Amino acid sequence: MISILPAQAASLLPRNLRHAQGMKLRKSAPRTQQAEWHPHKNRMDPVSILVAQGAHRISVLLPVRYARMAASPFAFLRGAAAVMAADLAGTHSAGIKVQSCGDCHLANFGSYASAEGTPVFDINDFDETLSAPFEWDIKRLGTSLVLAGRESGLSETTSRCMARAMALSYVQEIARLAPMNPIEIWAERIDLSTAIAGFKDKQARKKVQTLLEARLESARRHFGLVAEDCGTPHLTEKPPLVVRLPEQDNTIRAAFARYVATQPPERAILLARYTLQDVIFKVVGVGSVGTFCAIGLFSTPDNEVLLLQIKEAQTSVMAPYLAPSPFHNQGERVVVGQRIMQTASDTFLGWTHSSGTDEVDGETGNLPVGQRQFYVRRLKDQRLAAIGAEFAQIGLPDYALLCGRTLARAHARSGDVAMLAGYLGGGRAFADAIASFSVAYANQTKADWKAFCAAIKAGRLSTQPSHVTPAKKL
């Protein structure tokens, strides 16, 4: 039986009592303490953490990952979720847990189409999701805003103010949601077009609206990945990041077959109308580079296309510092986390594995030898999903407010929103603390990035690309 979050058990109390409990937490966990960041004297070398993480990834792709991370302190932060998880584990927390994104930075927010075709704005990456202190996501998001502000040429004061504004936006949204009943909270979603209309910067608002319209049109054309020059649809290579791996073809197809065979009847009926025609390997993200990811092209007899993505799910970077996940399959952990946090989840979300069983070793927690675990989803329109990062370049201050509100809505679905509202109060003390932490940890990230670049220069890490042909079978 799957255990529930502590907040879910506490929610059986009346709302006013839970709000009062949140207020009491201010004594044991003062909001001003959320500002503190001091590296532990025994802090593990960040480069060593990344090297250890790389041991469980496709080695030939690691130079691609390291090259992307070396681009800037913000790029480093994106790939160093494991480093920040270790650091956050030693920071102050009020003890209120939520379903956490686990890798909450501004580029992991974006847009996708709901089942009705409406573009919604939400968190769109859940590879690291686990039940965790609510502050962890906010602190990582705040840090990313400070780094992005600096990278965009904004002043130190403006960059700090964005982190503060994001945190205050989070607080205000929690306060708005707190009086609602659970069903109302669960149904809350952020319509992207409406959100854009609320941008204060008129010039940014116009640019973003134009960009959104163009991206929605692109989504209708299968993102340029599908060709029909042979009479039937097939996937096209875009080296070096979208390539064919003939030696992995059968394994990918078998994993997709396991996914299809284990779907509930209502989805199985839909999938039965499609046949897997083609597969291709894809390099994704910054933090995810080196994990296994492939695209499957399914089509009907009339050549109508469905693109599904199968992506490897490894143990969350937060796992060493939190209660064990109740899920044996890491793909299931990702899928459940996404369903909890997103209002409009993908119809095709599911999980599977490459070989063996889903059972882990009871003593070591290791997977069976040779097994990889995956989650499956409909292929995101990367151009639409990445629209969040581009919004940030056009109007970062407005985007910071939107991300804060979005994160609050996601946390309210699993966390005790009344207790959160009681702890946060008016929000100024908390927002000031988050801003201070974000600046301090942004400075830490810059120092870590410099050490990372020095490790590359010294030959400890390689950024020299290799041909993408992993020899090791899944």
* In the chain, where the domains are located: 27-211+385-457, 222-384
Are 299 and 340 in contact by the 8 Å Cβ rule? The answer is: no
Whether pTM exceeds 0.85: yes
pLDDT tens for the 474 residues of the chain, in order: 344 454 555 567 999 999 999 999 999 999 999 999 999 999 999 999 999 999 888 788 899 899 999 999 999 999 999 999 999 999 999 999 999 999 999 999 988 777 666 778 899 899 999 999 999 999 999 999 999 999 999 999 999 999 999 999 999 999 999 999 999 999 998 887 788 888 888 887 888 777 777 766 655 555 567 887 777 888 988 877 788 878 778 888 899 999 999 999 999 999 999 999 999 988 777 767 768 889 999 999 999 999 999 999 999 999 999 999 999 899 999 999 999 999 888 889 999 987 654 444 444 344 444 578 999 998 866 555 666 666 677 788 999 999 999 999 999 999 999 999 999 999 999 999 999 999 999 999 999 999 999 999 999 999 987 654 443 443
Q: At a CB cut-off of 8 Å and minimum separation 6, what does 48 contact? A: none
**Where are the strands (E) in 283-364, listed by range?**
293-299, 305-312, 350-353
Are 130 and 408 in contact by the 8 Å Cβ rule? The answer is: no
Q: Which long-range contacts (CB under 8 A, 24 or more apart) does 454-457 make?
A: 455/47, 456/66, 456/70
Cα dihedral across residues 258, 264, 265, 269: positive or negative: negative
For position 9, what pLDDT does the model report? Answer: 55
For position 366, what pLDDT does the model report? Answer: 45
Q: What per-residue string of b and e applies to 399-437 under the rule 16 or more CB within 10 Å gives b?
A: bbbbbbbbbbbbbbbbbbbbbbbbbbeebebbbbbbbbb
The DSSP line for 178-242 is TTS-HHHHHH---BHHHHHHT-S-HHHHHHHHHHHHHHHHHHTTGGG-EE-TTSS-EE--BTTTE
For position 360, what pLDDT does the model report? Answer: 43
Are 50 and 63 in contact by the 8 Å Cβ rule? The answer is: no
Q: At a CB cut-off of 8 Å and minimum separation 6, what does 91 contact? A: 34, 36, 37, 135, 139, 437
Task: Give the neighbor-by-neighbor strand order of the sheet with 305-312.
Answer: 242-243, 275-282, 293-299, 305-312, 373-378, 350-353
Site of tokens 């890490």: 461
Site of tokens 């001091």: 38
For position 367, what pLDDT does the model report? Answer: 45
Longest dimension (CA), the chain: 69
Q: At a CB cut-off of 8 Å and minimum separation 6, what does 134 contact? A: 94, 96, 97, 98, 100, 411, 415, 420
- What distance in Å separates the CA atoms of residue 389 and residue 108, rounded to the nearest whole number? 8
- What distance in Å separates the CA atoms of residue 353 and residue 372, rounded to the nearest whole number? 6
CA end-to-end span of the chain, whole Å? 30
